Structure formats: structure tokens, C-alpha cells
Amino acid sequence: MSEERSSQGGEGQNAAFWTPLFLAWLLALLATAGALFLGEVMGKAPCVLCWYQRIAMFPLVLVLGMGLFALDARSVRYALPLAGVGWGIAAYHLLIFWGVVSKDLVPCGKGSSCADAHVQMAGVVPIPLLSLAAFTGILVALWVARARAGRAKA
């Protein structure tokens, strides 16, 4: 009888944990698809900072997807550092784009520049801003998932 109650309660708690984890995975999937579309279809070569952001974003699709499939709360623990590092790089990239950071501190060498005007979607929205928004949404969703998973243990 007690096993029935714990499994019923566990399913509700898993559903509460699953929803923000799914949202984080969906954001990572859309950001990854968008980055691949920009590079492969539209032919926009990524700059050095864009590559670093991709390095942080692309594994999130796999880590969060596996966490969803197995309903494993540990996936949040593995995804938070990736999303945090990606957020920091995206924020720095945006500061470079807006001209807040000195040109001497720009890591771009050969290839695309991190501050060029072609780093905008439709000539209006900077791509680093889209990246920052994606990483912010992922971080918020992961914090909610972690909080709900912590409540499930208590």
C-alpha cells in the first residue's frame, strides 16, 4: 500500500521536474538548430566567441535529452555549468558587439569578427543577444527543475 502511494506521489513530482527540464532541452535544441541553420544554410561563418558558445550549447541537447529520457535529476547538475559558462561568453560577446569592451580585449583573430554588423538577424537583433536569451532561459528552467527535484527528495 505504501509503495502505491509513493509511486503515485513520485509520478506527480517527476512531472513537476520534467516540465522545466523539457523546456530547457527545447531551448537548447532550438538554439542548436538556429546556430546550424545560420552557419550551414545562410553561410554565416561563426566568430571565435560564437564557436565557444556552440561548445557550451550543443552538448546541452544531449545531456538534457538523456536526463529527460531517464528522468534523472543529476542531468541538471551536469547542465548548469555548461549553461553558466555559455551565458558568460554570450554576455561578453554582446558587450563586444555593443562596443562596451575595448577592441584590445577582443579575442577574434583570423576569420569573422565578433563585432561586425553581419552578426545580426534581419539587420536588427544581434546574434549574441539571441544566444544570451537562450542561455538565460535554459538557466532559469534548470534552476526551477533543481528546486522541484529538491522538493521531491524532501
17 band by pLDDT with thresholds 50, 70 and 90: confident
Q: Is 63 in contact with 24 (CB distance < 8 Å)?
A: no
Query: What's the pLDDT tens digit per position in 79-129?
Result: 999 999 999 999 998 898 888 887 666 666 665 666 665 666 666 788 889
Q: What is the pLDDT of residue 103?
A: 65
Give the pLDDT confidence score for residue 118 in this predicted structure. Answer: 62
pLDDT score of 4: 37
Which pLDDT score is estimated for 115? Answer: 62
**Average confidence (pLDDT) over 49-70:** 94
**Which residues in the chain belong to E strands, given as ranges?**
120-121, 125-126
CA 112 to chain centre: 23
Taking alpha carbons only, the member of 36, 58, 66 closest to residue 138 is 58
Beta carbons of 120 and 126 less than 8 angstroms apart: yes
Q: Do the Cβ atoms of 152 and 17 come closer than 8 Å?
A: yes
Q: Which of 141, 136, 153 is nearest to 67 (CA)?
A: 141
65/15: higher pLDDT: 65
Paired with 125 in beta bridges are: 121
Nearest to 38 by CA among 136, 101, 128, 148: 128
pTM of the model: 0.83
